[in-house]
């Protein structure tokens, strides 16, 4: 493994996630697609059983009371990338994923808060006129990252 590769990490989480199934599905996808951790901001969910791989045994979940609490613990030298249908967002197809990155997803009913959108270093959007399920959206973003960053020798 090269030194440059060893400095990469990725986290992904949901701001004000609405359903327990979305958290479990995202947790499972995050483990499969190489995330280092997942997180939630706000407490709209309950404990869940949709993580059929029991990813909680191998992939940490961090919880934050609000966006300010999350932001003060953002890892050093890390890009915060919001995934949002926003005019300022770069299309996912054209997006170059940072080596050290945390992706922030909004709840399906409200998206990211204005505070979150304004504090993100970058915004990215998926194609389509309306939003995907939040867990599906996170899965697509993580897969796109993996496909673009993985060296050709590993494919």
Question: Which residues span the domain enclosing 57?
Answer: 3-154
Q: What is the model's pLDDT at position 1?
A: 42
| Residue 103: CATH number of its domain | 3.40.1280.10
Give 10-residue mean pLDDT values along the chain (155 residues).
64 90 88 94 65 70 94 95 95 96 92 95 93 93 93 53
What span, in angstroms and rounded, lies between the C-alpha atoms of 149 and 9? 11
Q: What is the pLDDT of residue 70?
A: 96
Please state the pTM of the whole predicted model. Answer: 0.87
The total number of structural domains that make up the chain: 1
Q: Which helix (H) or strand (E) holds 12?
A: strand 9-15
pLDDT at residue 106, as a whole number: 92
CB 119 within 8 Å of CB 74: no
């Amino acid at each position: 493994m090269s030194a440059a590769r060893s400095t990469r990490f990725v986290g992904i989480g949901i701001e004000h996630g609405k359903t327990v199934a979305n958290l479990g599905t995202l947790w499972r996808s995050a483990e499969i697609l190489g995330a280092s951790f997942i997180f939630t901001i706000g407490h709209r969910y309950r404990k869940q059983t949709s993580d059929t791989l029991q990813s909680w045994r191998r992939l940490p979940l961090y919880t934050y009371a609000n966006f300010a609490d999350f932001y003060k613990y953002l890892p050093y030298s890390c890009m915060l990338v919001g995934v949002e249908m926003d005019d300022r967002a770069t299309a996912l197809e054209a997006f170059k994923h940072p080596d050290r990155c945390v992706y922030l997803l909004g709840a399906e009913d409200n998206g990211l808060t204005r505070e979150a959108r304004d504090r993100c270093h970058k915004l990215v959007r998926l194609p389509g006129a309306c939003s995907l399920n939040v867990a599906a959206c996170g899965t697509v973003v993580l897969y796109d990252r993996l496909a673009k960053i993985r060296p050709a020798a590993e494919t």
